[in-house]
């Protein structure tokens, strides 16, 4: 039996709700969501599979970067990347109105000529009129728009209509990935992202941004438990104190929440071993780069 399958690029400025949308579609948490912009340092490709379709949601490098950092070359590269996908999902924020960054994303999307679905998100907090204005402006700026939807990813409103439309527009094709695969990222990457998300949610000010999570070890224990050891690097002793908390209460909270989510992801018991370490100026160190581009080994 043939299915509908293909690659869908998620385009939209930071914080419009791309991760929230993906999480609703996937029915479980696979992408970090935060109210602090650009938390998803490394974007994850998510694979949605059902009876008659497989959709691979991909990120477009360059498109989320601040305008001032976008050289002509990067714009070209982004356009080129969008030419290579089957469909674009261009997301906008109804509450924000149509901004300069939206205009810039719209230009890149339009230039690719690729079929585009527009989703105006956050209608739960914006008036209908404002949302419609955003949708219409976006539509007028993009060449190949197949439909415009008004949604609230947070409330799950309209998300499945978008999903149906995506399926309708995708070509018939093969199932590219096994059906139980939800992301093409290794487990070590997912684990680091999940731990980082908890730190983002539970701590304030400079702490989240001074934190790096490096997965040191993932091992199958004979009793079926998955053992994961992670180092959490901060830049100063004071930050270490905050992360550990009074009598270890904060790190315990982070650990419990992260473990529960990891257990959900891998479908079995997880033992999470977290160690907070101070490493001055870790941002300049290359070990974190290695981790972020996924060079650490996955489960052995
Ligand atoms: N009110 C409202 N808030 C939303 C909606 N969708 C997402 N948000 C919120 O918007 C913020 C950003 O959402 P994300 O899903 O992380 O946005 P993103 O586009 O992936 O952001 P980046 O990773 O920065 O590119 C979070 O606080 C979400 O809870 C929505 O439909 N309504």
Full set of structural domains in the chain with CATH: 3-173 (3.40.50.300), 187-292 (3.30.300.20)
Residue 166 known to bind ligand: no
What is the spatial distance between Cα 285 and Cα 279, in angstroms, rounded to a whole number? 9
3-state helix, strand, coil in the chain (%, to 5): 40, 25, 35
Q: Concatenated DSSP letters for 11-52?
A: E--TTSSHHHHHHHHHTS--S---SSSS--SS---EEEEETT
- pLDDT at residue 36, as a whole number: 46
Residue 135 known to bind ligand: no
- pLDDT at residue 38, as a whole number: 43
How far, in Å, from the CA of 34 to the mean position of ligand 1? 7
How far, in Å, from the CA of 87 to the mean position of ligand 1? 21
CA distances (Å), origin 52, targets 49, 147, 187, 287 = 8, 21, 27, 42
State the ipTM, two decimals: 0.97
Ligand 1 atom at minimal distance to the Cα of residue 22: 15
Q: Which two tokens stand for residue 21?
A: 């949308």
- pLDDT at residue 200, as a whole number: 87
What is the spatial distance between Cα 240 and Cα 109, in angstroms, rounded to a whole number? 43
What is the spatial distance between Cα 280 and Cα 69, in angstroms, rounded to a whole number? 27
Question: Which pLDDT tens digit goes with each residue over 110-125?
Answer: 999 999 999 999 999 9
Give the strand order in the sheet containing 226-234: 212-220, 226-234, 270-278
Q: Which two tokens stand for residue 109?
A: 């999307």
- pLDDT at residue 300, as a whole number: 31
How far, in Å, from the CA of 16 to the mean position of ligand 1? 5
- Tally of residues, the chain: 300
Ligand 1 pocket mutation pick from 12, 14, 16, 93 by most atoms within 8 angstroms of CB: 16
Walk along the chain (300 residues) in steps of 10 and give the mean pLDDT of each run.
89 87 78 47 71 86 56 74 92 94 92 96 94 97 97 96 97 86 77 89 79 88 92 91 94 95 82 92 56 41
- pLDDT at residue 295, as a whole number: 41
Residue 12 known to bind ligand: yes
CA distances (Å), origin 239, targets 162, 223, 247, 255, 291 = 42, 36, 15, 17, 21
- pLDDT at residue 41, as a whole number: 39
With a Cβ cut-off of 6 Å, ligand 1 is lined by 12, 14-20, 33-35, 37-40, 64, 121-122, 124-125, 152-154
Residue 84 known to bind ligand: no
Instruction: Look up tokens 């419990």; give the residue.
Output: 256
Instruction: Look up tokens 């810039």; give the residue.
Output: 104
**Which residue puts its alpha carbon closest to atom 16 of ligand 1?**
33
Tell me which residue of 262, 263, 203 sits closest to 234, measured CA to CA. 203
């Amino acid at each position: 039996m043939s299915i509908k399958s293909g690659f869908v690029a998620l385009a939209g400025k930071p914080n419009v709700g791309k991760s929230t949308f993906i999480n609703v579609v996937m029915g479980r948490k696979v992408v970090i969501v935060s109210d602090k912009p650009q938390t998803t340092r490394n974007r994850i490709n998510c694979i949605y599979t059902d009876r008659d379709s497989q959709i691979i949601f991909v990120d477009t490098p360059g498109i989320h970067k601040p305008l001032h950092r976008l050289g002509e070359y990067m714009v070209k590269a982004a356009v080129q990347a969008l030419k290579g996908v089957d469909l674009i999902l261009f997301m906008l924020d109804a509450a924000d109105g149509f901004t300069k960054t939206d205009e810039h994303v719209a230009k890149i999307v339009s230039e690719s000529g690729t079929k585009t679905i527009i989703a105006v998100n956050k209608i739960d907090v914006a008036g209908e009129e404002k949302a419609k204005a955003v949708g219409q402006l976006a539509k007028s700026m993009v060449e190949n728009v197949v439909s415009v939807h008004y949604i609230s990813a947070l409330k799950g409103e309209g998300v499945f209509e978008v999903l149906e439309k995506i399926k309708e527009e995708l070509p018939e094709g093969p199932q590219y990935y096994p059906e139980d695969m939800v992301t093409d990222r290794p487990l070590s990457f997912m684990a680091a992202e999940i731990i980082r998300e908890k730190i983002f949610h539970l701590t304030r000010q400079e702490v989240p941004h001074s934190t790096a999570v490096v997965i040191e070890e993932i091992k199958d224990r004979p009793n079926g438990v998955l053992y994961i050891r992670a180092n959490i690097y901060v830049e100063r002793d004071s930050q270490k104190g905050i992360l550990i908390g009074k009598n270890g209460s904060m790190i315990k909270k982070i650990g419990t929440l992260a473990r529960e989510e990891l257990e959900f992801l891998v479908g079995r018991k997880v033992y999470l071993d977290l160690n907070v370490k101070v490493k001055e100026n870790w941002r300049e160190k290359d070990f974190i780069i290695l981790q972020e581009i996924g060079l650490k080994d996955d489960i052995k």
